[in-house]
Amino acid sequence: GAWDIGGHEHYMHKEICEQPDAVDRVLRGRIDDRFATVHLGGLGIDAREARGVRRVKILGCGSAFHAGQIGAQLIEELARIPADAEPASEFRYRNPVVDPDTLYIAVSQSGETYDTLAAVQELKRKGACVLGVVNVVGSAIAREADGGMYVHAGPEVCVVSTKCFTNTAVAFALLALHLGRVRDLSVADGKRIIAGLRRLPAQIAEILSAEEEIKKLAHSYADARSMMFVGRVRGYPVAREASLKLKEVSYVHAEAYPASELKHGPLALIEPDVPSVAIVPDDELLEKNRATLEEIKARHGRILAVAHAPQEAADDTIVVPHNEPELDPVLLGIPLQLLAYHAALALGRDIDKPRNLAKSVTVE
Ligand code: AGP
């Protein structure tokens, strides 16, 4: 059960280790091999309505917002619908233009985050269609939404989200595949994504089996004054989430930037005790990312790369397995959860209940 910590020292560790099973659960019963699509029974929108969607706007806070950023990219890539994510709080305070052809999606682990709930209520008051991508069954956001999908991560006890973030990203892959297949995504691409989804649980297990190596790296980076996380496009939300994770649990200051933005300012911070973590997937942006590593190295910054193959310009590389390029973000973040955990452990932090934080923020 949720409160049974098993052989783990912390819930955070338990929840990181549960991810192969959790991802298996979000996939279970939803894949349709015959039509190379997925069935999402609770969505409440039919194929015709799905085709009418002109835009997707995803709202959430913290890790849910970052999972939403991955979701927006997946929807753009697989369904070719313009999509973006925004912090729910910003959205609700800026008197947004609510558009009848936009599909709004609220993302939340707890389903009780006040800013996200308030955004949903405001949208509904204005007649918008709002879906929920939620973990806690029957929670306020799940009840308020017109439809949606549960991410089935199981109860998450640690204040710092890990397995729910991963499952939410996978849930968005399912939604993007579904929206893609009622639009212009081919059967062949649908099959390619489905095969990729099925590989995820074993690949996550493979990443987790390198824990000892990641622990050593965590010890060698934990004394950093500050850390810079960089990534491009698919790697950028991964960098943002990893940076948040490190801050929350280890209290080490961290920033996340799109790699291409470094030269527009943050490069001034790079020095030997400000290491960088670079997300370097083997995709069409590999050469660009390698140039970023050189840029950092020239300023004597240490570099830890998360990549599909060792990176020469990096001091250290955590190698993760390849999936399909669209699904790689799900895997690239996993070792950085362990990095944050072991850095926090080395620094003697209160892992499951970091100072100043609550599991769900039900106040404004
Ligand atoms: C995650 O590690 C954080 N503790 C926090 O950012 C969290 O994701 C955010 O408060 C949103 O919570 P929710 O998913 O329950 O809405």
Summarize pLDDT for 144-200 with one digit per residue, the tens.
999 999 999 999 999 999 999 999 999 999 999 999 999 999 999 999 999 999 999
CA 310 to centroid of ligand 1, rounded, Å: 33
Tokens of 211: 């824990």
Tokens of 360: 């769900």
CA–CA separation, 352 and 158 (whole Å): 5
CA–CA separation, 334 and 339 (whole Å): 9
pLDDT at 251 over 90: yes
Tokens of 341: 């955990």
307-335 mean pLDDT: 98
Q: Residue 360 — pLDDT band, cuts 50, 70, 90?
A: confident
Q: Which of 113, 156, 166 to mutate to test the pocket of ligand 1 (most atoms within 8 A of CB)?
A: 113
CA–CA separation, 189 and 180 (whole Å): 10
Q: Which of 203, 160, 133 shows the shortest CA–CA distance to 15?
A: 160
Encode pLDDT of 259-318 as tens digits: 999 999 999 999 999 999 999 999 999 999 999 999 999 999 999 999 999 999 999 999
The protein residue whose alpha carbon is closest to atom 7 in ligand 1 is: 62
118-123 mean pLDDT: 96
Active site positions, annotated: 359
pLDDT at 361 over 90: no
Encode pLDDT of 126-138 as tens digits: 999 999 999 999 9
Q: Residue 14 — pLDDT band, cuts 50, 70, 90?
A: very high
Residue 62, phi-psi category: left (phi > 0), alpha (psi -120 to 50), beta (remainder): left
CA 45 to centroid of ligand 1, rounded, Å: 27
pLDDT score at 1? 62
CA 338 to centroid of ligand 1, rounded, Å: 18
pLDDT score at 2? 65
pLDDT score at 238? 98
Buried/exposed code over 257-285 (b: 16+ C-beta within 10 A; e: otherwise): bbbbebeeebbeebeeebbbbbbbbebeb
What single-letter amino acid sits at 247? K
DSSP, residue by residue, 75-100: IIIII---EEEEEHHHHHHS-PPP-T
Q: Which of 361, 362, 363 to mutate to test the pocket of ligand 1 (most atoms within 8 A of CB)?
A: 361
Q: Which of 109, 136, 137, 246 to mutate to test the pocket of ligand 1 (most atoms within 8 A of CB)?
A: 109
pLDDT score at 232? 97
Report yes or no: 330 and 166 within 8 Å, Cβ to Cβ: yes
Q: Residue 363 — pLDDT band, cuts 50, 70, 90?
A: confident
The protein residue whose alpha carbon is closest to atom 9 in ligand 1 is: 62
Q: Report ipTM (2 d.p.).
A: 0.98
9-14 mean pLDDT: 96
Tokens of 320: 């993760």
CA 312 to centroid of ligand 1, rounded, Å: 36
Q: Which of 185, 83, 184 shows the shortest CA–CA distance to 133?
A: 83
Pocket residues: Cβ below 6 A from ligand 1: 61-64, 108-110, 113, 116, 159-161, 248, 357, 360-361
pLDDT at 240 over 90: yes
The protein residue whose alpha carbon is closest to atom 16 in ligand 1 is: 108
Show Cβ contacts of residue 214 under 8 Å, excluding neighbours closer than 6 positions. Answer: 318, 335, 338, 339, 342
- Which atom of ligand 1 lies nearest, measured to the CA of 360? 15
How far is it between the farthest Cα atoms of the chain? 56
- Which atom of ligand 1 lies nearest, measured to the CA of 62? 6
Query: Residue 288: how many CB atoms within 10 A of its CB?
Result: 14
pTM: 0.97
Q: Residue 56 — pLDDT band, cuts 50, 70, 90?
A: very high
Query: Coil, helix or strand for 283?
Result: coil
What sections of 159-317 are H helices per DSSP?
163-181, 187-208, 211-221, 235-250, 286-298
121: Cα separation from own chain's centroid: 25
pLDDT score at 134? 98
Tokens of 349: 């932090």
pLDDT score at 318? 98
CA 94 to centroid of ligand 1, rounded, Å: 21
Tokens of 156: 């998450």
CA 240 to centroid of ligand 1, rounded, Å: 13
Share of the chain above pLDDT 70, in %: 99
Read off the DSSP letter of residue 252.
-
Q: Which of 147, 158, 157, 131 shows the shortest CA–CA distance to 60?
A: 131
Report yes or no: 23 and 170 within 8 Å, Cβ to Cβ: yes
Q: Which of 80, 35, 331, 25 shows the shortest CA–CA distance to 190?
A: 35
